[in-house]
Amino acid sequence: MSADRQQRAERGAVRLDPRLVIGIVLIAASTFGVWTLVSGLDDGVEVYVARETLTPGTHIRADDLATESVRLGTSTSRYLTEGDFPEGGLVVARTIDAGELVPDAAVDETDRTGLATVVVPSRGPLPADVAAGTRVDVWTAKEAERGYEPPTVLVSGAEIAGVIEAEGMVSTGGTSVELLVPREKVAALLGALASGDAIDLVPARSSGE
């Protein structure tokens, strides 16, 4: 190639200024950063908020509450979010102050304000389908000279709040059940436990059976 031709080729070639390239990269990075920040700020979840102070036993529906978009991250599951409200409404289990986000643990589908928890040991293995949420009838039989008197139902349809499995080398074995019992039945049940009456838990029949 002649020197004249080479000069013309060099004049026709496009040369990029390194400073221009660096500037373009910085602008692109800045734009991406702003977009990411704005997207993150908009990543809120609609959570229910108490319009007024709610006391235990109050029945509420979605219309009774306000909603607020908040960013809770991994704590989202701890609060009642929009769309999680059951059709039948909910019952307040503990006081929720006005303006407070509604904790999931502060509401329940069942009114438990008139219930108390009593731990009842099971005399034998529980049926496989008995778990938290199951309803059982509490049968008791007083001790007699020979065996026990005929059993009677002391509590009907008590809900199981939890099952406690015996653990450890010093355990006496067996399983205990946390029962949600009407407060007016607590004294009788505790009396039966203290007297050593035979107590059995029998799955309650549903209304359709």
| pLDDT tens, position by position, 164-187 | 876 654 445 568 899 999 999 999
Q: How many Å apart are CA 91 and CA 122, to the nearest integer? A: 30
Q: Which residue has the tokens 């509450």?
A: 65
**Token representation of residue 118:** 């009593």
Give the pLDDT score at 39.
Answer: 52
Domain locations along the chain = 46-108, 115-203
Q: How many Å apart are CA 205 and CA 157, to the nearest integer? A: 8
3-state secondary structure of 99: coil
Q: Which one has a higher pLDDT value, 12 or 192?
A: 192
> CATH class for domain 46-108?
alpha beta
pTM exceeds 0.75, yes or no: no
Q: Which amino acid is at 2?
A: S
Instruction: Give tens-digit pLDDT for 2-35.
Output: 555 555 555 555 565 677 667 777 777 777 665 5
Geometric angle at alpha carbon 113, from 108 and 119, rounded to 5°: 95
Instruction: Give tens-digit pLDDT for 79-121.
Output: 998 888 888 889 888 899 999 999 988 888 877 778 889 999 9
Where residue 73 falls (left for φ over 0; alpha for ψ -120 to 50; beta otherwise) is left
**pLDDT over threshold 90, residue 124:** no
